[in-house]
Amino acid sequence: MKLDFPRYTERLGAVSIHAVQRIYELDSGKSKGFQSSHQTVRKFDYDEISNILHDLAIIIPVKDEKLKLLEGVLSGIPNECLVIIVSNSARSPVDRFAMETEAVRQLGRFMDKRIVMIHQRDPGLAEVFKRVGYDSILDSDGGIRNGKAEGMIIGLLAARMYHKDYVGFIDSDNYVPGAVNEYVKIFAAGFGMSTTPYCNVRVSWVFKPKIKNNLLQFSKWGRVSEITNKNLNALLASITGFETDVINTGNAGEHALSMPLAECLQYTSGYSIETREFVDIFEKFGGLVPSEYPQIVEKGVEVFQIETRNPHFHEDKGIAHLNEMLEASLATIFGSKICTPDQKEILQDQLRHVTKKRVDYSKKYHMLEPINTIHMPEFEKGLREKADTFLRIGRLK
Amino acid sequence: MKLDFPRYTERLGAVSIHAVQRIYELDSGKSKGFQSSHQTVRKFDYDEISNILHDLAIIIPVKDEKLKLLEGVLSGIPNECLVIIVSNSARSPVDRFAMETEAVRQLGRFMDKRIVMIHQRDPGLAEVFKRVGYDSILDSDGGIRNGKAEGMIIGLLAARMYHKDYVGFIDSDNYVPGAVNEYVKIFAAGFGMSTTPYCNVRVSWVFKPKIKNNLLQFSKWGRVSEITNKNLNALLASITGFETDVINTGNAGEHALSMPLAECLQYTSGYSIETREFVDIFEKFGGLVPSEYPQIVEKGVEVFQIETRNPHFHEDKGIAHLNEMLEASLATIFGSKICTPDQKEILQDQLRHVTKKRVDYSKKYHMLEPINTIHMPEFEKGLREKADTFLRIGRLK
């Protein structure tokens, strides 16, 4: 893979946000690379990518998506990665989770891939969470909450169990296995460029094709992304005093984290995960409020935004979904303790356009605690004993 | 890459036509592969693929396609391959070829790729063809003919100049760089599985999405492909006496050849190139008429058909184009000297549905001679001296 070195960087306390980087070549093979000493393009040969992939787990949250799409996504993930599928699919009247495990087992036979599967609502798993004292993932009945963030947390813990240094998230509604392959390599390239152990890699889609009048239109931006990015940039500007357009992955569906960073972050349920990641990093390491993590502040946090070469063809989830996403993103910025009063006012205005109701967002978007409080040996032992849906495929222990 | 070993094979004289092979994984990294001794899935690790790519030239015929698409295609081709762009784009009123060279030069700077470019209608190139006695590529005015096959021939000769063992053809109207990347790896996997130096690798698209009622439909077959495949299979059956459905790449847009095989084949102009390739291989090595190439008959010819994981999103060229393609494909089978009288009658019926006119197809689809008659040192010397549009990018001599 060949891509730009970051062309400029905004800094907020210990956080470096690199501007979007462009990819020139998906596959640089074993070429010697540029011979001049002056370099503005970074080349990753296959060995370098492969070394990082060995330490990378790809977490795929699944919720009733078509099996054909999941199959395609699996075929696009490089063999070196550990795959972690966290399913929140229906178990009745049709047991979709059983269909998923059957399909994955069948493919696993031919792919020789290492895959972990688990169902998010596994009662045994809920019991384990209770035992290790991680209550914020549980609902009032003692089961595991229903959101996407909860699935991500389960995936993160599975990745920790297998001692992975990096985790990447890839949605299972992607039509193009080759694009999935690119996302994984983008994650690897980002981690490979990072100079700190605390790193967030975000995918920026070059095009998000839409269908209009029975023709494909290669749109650059969704409306929601545009608004989220504008507000995140305004948040930065209101703090630093300099206007900026550095952020363009406020709603990036595909993103990755180094484990030492992932362990400290707090996620919120609903569709605000990607925006929350930004806001949480700013809050914890941006220097505006005292940080609980001086060791991270000392080394710094890097955020990479890398633009794909592949257009993003995915399942269209409709307008209601878009509105939910917009509300969640705006409310996440609005609710941040680093949001300035001016900025809050602007956001409240925008939120009023999205919904007429008065909403208590701190209740609507439930906050999950960092996973670094969980005692891993206890969690692992519990999981192996109690979670009936915990499956391992491809000679995994 | 992991893919099926061929599950069955039809044989016609010295020709083995392998049934479609399925891909399980795009990227097998450096994994050790299957540990059991019983194998039905073939694994190519990255080193194996890379070794073949070093000997592979990718020929991209260009004709007024959008530059953005060409850029994407280039970004998807692995760095190890030599890229040969043969442009037949307009040179006036707007010099599109100049725009193409500018775009490719600009990208070349960032990609560090080895790229050859040439314009198909270069008068100097025409002069060289005349000098080496390759007249079948020339029109009555002494210029180079206008078809796609003529561009392919020029690409083949450029690949020979750079001593490449394999050539693959990839169209420049592809929306998905990741799919292009897969095509190239499919070519490499095919050549890697081949047991003879005479090998044809054909890409079978898993889906060819169409837009209906503003929704993407993942269709498996185009109408033209379906008819072409049916007739090619019927041709085989009429010879062997056994019905078959082995052929499903009669109109494969993406295909590759080992150079020793490519040198002997005859191409026809128009849209019949891919069908012609099959028919030509059957004619020359199928054992029905005496072969001029006993050394090839002795070693055998293998045809691989490999199904992509990526759907094929490409520019829609409209219905007129489809009809031309259908006519060309049917006429190619109809005109073959190995076509049985019964089969000819059926084809004539079908052709009457496509066009009411009486057409002399041997004139309409002009035949190009094999390039193995061309004296390469003379061709190369002439090309370097006379062809003004012959460009080399990326430290290529």
DSSP annotation of A135 reads G
CA torsion angle for A97, A98, A100, A102 (degrees, to 10)? 170
List all residues 6 or more positions away from B109 whose beta carbon is below 8 Å from its beta carbon: none
For strands A2-4 and A41-43, give the pairing: antiparallel
Phi-psi region of A281 (alpha: psi -120 to 50; beta: other; left: phi over 0): alpha
What type of residue sits at position B4? D
A87-139 pLDDT per residue, tens: 999 999 999 999 999 999 999 888 889 999 999 999 999 999 999 999 999 99
> Is there a contact between B108 and B395 (Cβ–Cβ < 8 Å)?
no
> Is there a contact between B58 and B82 (Cβ–Cβ < 8 Å)?
yes
State both tokens at A127.
Answer: 């019991």
> Is there a contact between A200 and A257 (Cβ–Cβ < 8 Å)?
yes
State both tokens at B297.
Answer: 């008959």
Q: In the Cβ-directed half-sphere of B96, how many Cα atoms lie within 13 Å? A: 14
Does the beta carbon of B202 lie under 8 angstroms from any beta carbon of chain A? no
Rounded-to-integer distance, Cα B128 and Cα B113, Å: 27
CA angle B246, B311, B324 (to 5 degrees): 65
CA angle B309, B311, B315 (to 5 degrees): 145
Rounded-to-integer distance, Cα B82 and Cα B74, Å: 11
pLDDT at B315 over 80: no
Does the beta carbon of A24 lie under 8 angstroms from any beta carbon of chain B? yes
Rounded-to-integer distance, Cα B224 and Cα B322, Å: 7
List all residues 6 or more positions away from B66 whose beta carbon is below 8 Å from its beta carbon: B173, B315
Give the minimum alpha-carbon distance from B108 to chain A in angstroms, rounded to a whole number. 9
Q: Residue A31 and residue B216: Cβ atoms within 8 Å?
A: no
> Is there a contact between A88 and A121 (Cβ–Cβ < 8 Å)?
yes
pLDDT at A365 over 90: no
Rounded-to-integer distance, Cα A19 and Cα A7, Å: 6
- Least Cα distance to B359 among B298, B282, B270 occurs for B270
CA angle A83, B20, A312 (to 5 degrees): 45
Residue A209 has a pLDDT of: 86
> Is there a contact between B29 and B185 (Cβ–Cβ < 8 Å)?
no
B156-165 pLDDT per residue, tens: 999 999 999 9
Q: What average pLDDT does this structure show over A2-31?
A: 93
CATH class for the domain made up of A2-220+251-316+373-393:
alpha beta
CA angle B60, B61, B65 (to 5 degrees): 105
pLDDT at A210 over 90: no
Instruction: Kindly tell me the burial class for residue A48, based on how many C-beta atoms sit within 10 Å of its own C-beta (0-12, 13-18, 19 or more).
Output: middle
Main-chain dihedrals φ then ψ at residue A341, nearest 5 degrees: -55, -40
Rounded-to-integer distance, Cα A126 and Cα B297, Å: 67
Give the minimum alpha-carbon distance from B97 to chain A in angstroms, rounded to a whole number. 22
Rounded-to-integer distance, Cα B145 and Cα B150, Å: 7
Chain B residues near residue A213 by CB distance under 8 angstroms: 214
- Quote the longest CA-to-CA distance of chain B: 63
pLDDT at B37 over 60: no
Listed by start position, the domains of chain A span 2-220+251-316+373-393
CB contact residues (below 8 A), chain A span 133-192, against chain B: 175-179, 181-182
What type of residue sits at position A195? T
Report the residue of A219, A310, A395 to disrupt the B interface, i.e. the one with the largest count of B CBs within 10 Å.
A310
Does the beta carbon of B215 lie under 8 angstroms from any beta carbon of chain A? yes
What type of residue sits at position A7? R
A28-63 pLDDT per residue, tens: 887 665 655 567 899 999 899 999 999 999 999 999
What type of residue sits at position A18? H
pTM (whole model) above 0.90: yes
Residue B32 has a pLDDT of: 61
- Lowest mean pLDDT, pick from A42-51, B113-122, B180-189: A42-51
Strand-pair partners of A75 = none
A238-260 pLDDT per residue, tens: 999 999 999 999 988 799 999 99
Nearest CA in chain B to A5: B110
Q: What average pLDDT does this structure show over B351-380?
A: 91
Rounded-to-integer distance, Cα A279 and Cα A329, Å: 10
